Amino acid sequence: MNFSMTINNHILILAFIVTSVFNGISQTKLSASEQTEFKAKVQKTAQNTETIVSDFVQTKHISVLDNAITSEGKLVFKAPDLVKWEYLKPYQNIAIFKDDQLLVNNEGKRQNIDLGANKMFRSLNSLIVNSIKGDMFDETQFDLEYFKFDQGYLVKFVPKDKRLRKFIASFELKFSGTTSEVDEVKLIEPNDDYTLITFQNRKVNTTVPENAFKN
């Protein structure tokens, strides 16, 4: 992610989170009983997740550009709500969500943004945390659709909040069929541009020190 973008784009990209299908995936809709079983598995996984350390690849598709913009980095999560996105390639940037603050380090240039004073930013921070853990099946906030495919499950979320839809038209989470963990997050913007984040080399419940979230 290029932190020279506006703060709305900072949050939008981090929030990580689409068209109704991932291209090339053959899928079928879950029945009501299958939905209940799937959600129970994901929520159990989320409840047992205290830390996550994972590499990620982020690909930003913009309609006016011929080529996608690709970034690589490392995600660190610690319950209940500490999140660190460290971008390593092609630029070195850090974004930390901590104590109702967004702490940004853009190649040495630091900025602190108060999330607590802004309801929208608080909602987006909650969205980030819950999407990382895969625990966000809140039908009061989203219209949801559930699908299964050969490797796992796909859930489509459409925000009900009109203000949030100005930034996020919809998003999808792809879950592993074996671990019930989030493998990919795909976010589509109102103009149909989208961002895909794929997690790799994921480690769960390893020791993460508090100083990992210092800016």
Segments forming the whole domain that contains residue 78 = 7-203
Q: What is the pLDDT of residue 17?
A: 36
Question: Is residue 27 in a domain?
Answer: yes
Beta strands across the sheet bearing 28-29: 28-29, 142-149, 152-159, 170-176, 182-188, 194-204, 51-61, 69-78, 82-89, 93-98, 101-106, 109-114
Question: Are the C-beta atoms of 157 and 17 separated by less than 8 Å?
Answer: yes
Q: What is the pLDDT of residue 84?
A: 93
Question: Is residue 212 in a domain?
Answer: no
Q: Please state the pTM of the whole predicted model.
A: 0.81
Question: Is residue 180 in a domain?
Answer: yes
CA distance 22 to 86: 26
φ, ψ of residue 13 to 5 degrees: the values are -70, -40
Question: Is residue 2 in a domain?
Answer: no
Give me 213's structure tokens: 């979230």
Question: Is residue 213 in a domain?
Answer: no
Give me 81's structure tokens: 């709500």
Question: Is residue 20 in a domain?
Answer: yes
Per-residue pLDDT of the chain (215 residues; tens, 9 = 90+): 444 444 555 544 444 433 333 444 578 999 999 999 999 999 899 889 999 999 999 999 998 888 889 999 999 999 988 999 999 999 899 999 988 888 999 888 898 888 877 776 777 777 778 877 877 788 888 999 999 988 899 999 999 988 888 888 998 899 999 999 999 999 899 998 999 999 999 999 999 998 899 87
Question: Is residue 136 in a domain?
Answer: yes
Question: Is residue 144 in a domain?
Answer: yes
Question: How many of the other CB atoms lie within 10 Å of CB of 104?
Answer: 19
CA-closest candidate to residue 42, choices 152, 157, 194: 152
Contacts of 51 (CB under 8 A, 6+ apart): 76, 77, 78, 79, 204, 205, 206, 207, 208
Domain count for the chain, please give it.
1
- Provide the CATH number for the domain around residue 65: 2.50.20.10
Q: What is the pLDDT of residue 117?
A: 75
